[in-house]
Amino acid sequence: MAMIENGRRWAQRQGKPLSLGIVVGLIVTSLVTFFVPSVYRALYFNAGDMGERPWSFLTYPLAYTGVGGPFTILFFIFLLFWVLFAGGFLEKDAGIGKAAAFWVVMTVLPAIVMGIGGRLLGTGVPLAGPYLPVAAVTVYWGIRNKEFPILLWGILPLKGLYIAILDVVGTFFMFGAGGGAAPILGLLACIHLGIAWLLAERAMIRIPDVPKKTKAQLEREEKFEDEVLRRKKERDEVERLRRLLEGPTGGEDR
């Protein structure tokens, strides 16, 4: 119990409860899907049977196994840190409620678009793993921090804007490489990234900054509050004297 309580307090100090919850969820489901493959098959999204498994529109990011070989584990650790970093920024920038809505929309929307597109094109790519929603969060972070440098692979410095661009390009080629209808699927996979870009560019979900008050404004407000308090005391004193003069009989004996 003490360990759980200490963990809860640590999570509160981080100020990223939503991002921490996502990280914990990815770790738990990654272990479960590794040892129980049937869970993976229940969570992933496939356009062919999306009507029979509607929950998969939301659960496919959890159909991911981050354990196995050393490179898989290393990538999974990087993914978790990035969710905490970029997702934590989204959480603080937009507020936990809007950030949660952002995660949900950026999870469900690409599944809907890819599912319908796959049906119409007679093809489709099964969706599994958190890449698509994390890509949207990455775009949001990159546009909100265009000049912020990140060391790619710990070597190559890239600004946030270029990371967002690479994220979109990488998503297109991940789903659009190949012949036939593949490029169309690549474009469909980027639609939610375009929406994330616009949301970040126009700060549509950002918590508005409260302008700081100047010293003169603070002094005026303090004087106003003092004046209100002084007048209230004067009214109370007048009322007290009136009652005292009237006496218990309402002033009739005078």
Confidence of residue 4 (pLDDT cuts 50, 70, 90): very low
**Does the structure show a pLDDT above 50 at 173?**
yes
Residue found by looking up tokens 């190949």 in the block: 178
Quick one: 2-133+178-188 is in which CATH superfamily? Answer: Rhomboid-like (1.20.1540.10)
Phi, psi of 188, deg, nearest 5:
-60, -35
Answer whether 26's CB lies under 8 Å from 130's CB. Answer: yes
pLDDT in tens, 114-125: 999 988 888 778
Confidence of residue 23 (pLDDT cuts 50, 70, 90): very high
- The average confidence (pLDDT) of the chain is 85
Answer whether 84's CB lies under 8 Å from 139's CB. Answer: no
**Does the structure show a pLDDT above 50 at 254?**
no
pLDDT in tens, 184-222: 999 999 999 999 999 998 866 666 555 566 777 777 888
Furthest-apart CA atoms within the chain: distance in Å: 107
Q: CA torsion sign, 165 to 166 to 169 to 170?
A: negative
Q: What is the pTM of this model?
A: 0.74
